[in-house]
Structure 1
């Protein structure tokens, strides 16, 4: 298998996990061969079961498909974001060479429109999965797990709050900045309305360990996918936040500038913003959380609420976005997944399968069942 961006923030964690699998070759690939080689050496020194190979490959080069065909992987895991503005060049190349494909995309259009490749993927008998990350990969699995408790699921409200000391990926930051202060449609009380990126700030409690965190609007594929997947829902809301109030509210202020037209695109300043944020890295914690709040009617048509809360301590938060891709890759390795075609990552594994990976990292969750 080939991991594009294999030495990046998420790629290296996927490579670390999958290198424990026996009987496979993991190709760690990217534009910088030295970084790929360094990670191979680092993992080999820890002791791995898989064969490790470094490779230099650029998804933007004219000969990308030729290079992909030369490597001839059974599976490609694409972690080279940001996915905002990317074409389907990589998954189309995978179809051409007959490789399965998984990505960690968080861009709404990229994930939601992947089904346009479904006919070609079926013809070549390959599986293409987009959005195998915290959203919509894990979020849909959590909702599916609790769906049987509702006769009618009416509201989905969920959020992610990483710790300030968690490692930041440049691609992730750039993706968020690209829509900061810009409108996107969300379903609210049965109507499609515009919300603005990194605005509508609120505080939400993530339990005793994580505490209360500031949140703001973030555009993700779930906002479009979930109203179709859960048709009884009349509200779907997602937010994320920064642990330090100064940084979070600073982002809200940046969003206001963009909304007023004073700044067209904050993503142009990604590198400067990341460097500036490093000044504050000593403050805050390495503890992050994810919360899914479901509201509706139970089987007796009485009000029902379920709150699912995940907690990641000791700096393991950045592993969470990788687990959906890791689970699917392992299922493909052992042949326990029979889906073919192109699709968003919706309900392709169970919460029990997530726990098998998460518990090894010390990631845990609990559930509150609330009536009324």
Structure 2
């Protein structure tokens, strides 16, 4: 069955507007831009219409925390809901549960570890309703797992997965993303390292990693994401899974490391309560740095000849297109549902639902590209 009606929650936000812009080119569907502000939703509808949108566009007021949310969502009769309204840290499953009750598919861009990993708790209900519930349709674990899947058959034994994201400082960012990061800054979380589960602390363990000639070295630090829990199971017998991210400007990055140290020492309990102030301060540096971002995946293990093999895959986003990357997984899945080519049902993290070739086709129009380096011995 094809999808003809799509609700985008947070549809005028940093990620939602990019999804809406992309899907608006599809004729024969209706896109409802939903959020708490009717003016912002209506303004985006007008902008997309002026740009030649083929889809029918509407705006709707929806607040997921209001008691009437479920009734209002059902009244819109969506066949697919794309939830971009982060941060997902601390959110419950009221939105996917409402979608199951309404008999519609659901995709989100969550990067919160518990939200994404535990979405399988809704699997039985989703199957019974014949709908697909996907969490984490974003850079992680959607794109990251697709990249690893594309190389996994080159390894007889995959020992280590070490990957990172380094956005450009000038790239547009949302307050919700900042709040999510601050929520675990300086707090412990479990990672799989050398065959054991150990503690790491958010935004600590700083290091500089080379991202190639165009971008150069960038500072990175520990970030808690669903992949750290999902990948040791998905890519068994991998022994180490490591993920870090960073800020382009050393002043801001190392400032975050210091903030993490204060939280680890117990001097600050939760940095996320200062999100608005920190976000506003960060905008003072918006014109510094570059608009170039990158994502890198490093895999190491043994090939089928039992030789040591290392693969480095690096994705590049120039000219400020970096914020589109977290949206591509959701866009791909939405287009598959709209076309009726995605038959999966149930509730699952975004793993194995699209291919690298499909990603490349979508990313090419944005000027996003990647290169692969392979080393033996």
Short-chain TM bin: over 0.9
Per-residue CA deviation, residues 76-126 of structure 1 (Å, 9 max, x unaligned), is 000001000000000000000001000000000000000000000000000
Instruction: Report what 1:281 is aligned to.
Output: 286
Structure 1: state its 5+ residue gaps.
none
Instruction: Report what 1:24 is aligned to.
Output: 29
Per-residue CA deviation, residues 5-62 of structure 1 (Å, 9 max, x unaligned), is 0000000000000000111000000000000000000110010110000111100000
* CA shift for structure 1 position 264: 0.3
Structure 2: state its 5+ residue gaps.
1-5
Instruction: Report what 1:107 is aligned to.
Output: 112
Instruction: Report what 1:171 is aligned to.
Output: 176
* CA shift for structure 1 position 278: 1.0
Cα distance in 2 for partners of 1:208, 1:55 equals: 46
Secondary structure (helix, strand or coil) at the match of 2:258 reads helix
Aligned counterpart for 2:61 among listed residues 26, 48, 56: 56
Cα distance in 2 for partners of 1:53, 1:32 equals: 13
Give matches, 1:1-372, under 5 Å.
1-372=6-377
TM-score calculated relative to the size of structure 2: 0.98
Count of matched residue pairs: 372
Cα distance in 2 for partners of 1:282, 1:17 equals: 27
RMSD: 0.4
Cα distance in 1 for partners of 2:28, 2:153 equals: 39
Cα distance in 1 for partners of 2:323, 2:214 equals: 17
* CA shift for structure 1 position 282: 1.5
Give structure 1 regions of 4+ aligned residues with deviation exceeding 4 angstroms.
none
Secondary structure (helix, strand or coil) at the match of 2:58 reads strand
Cα distance in 2 for partners of 1:199, 1:174 equals: 17
Cα distance in 1 for partners of 2:129, 2:194 equals: 42
* CA shift for structure 1 position 334: 0.5
Cα distance in 2 for partners of 1:145, 1:270 equals: 37
TM-score calculated relative to the size of structure 1: 1.00
Cα distance in 2 for partners of 1:371, 1:220 equals: 30
Secondary structure (helix, strand or coil) at the match of 1:361 reads coil
* CA shift for structure 1 position 347: 1.4
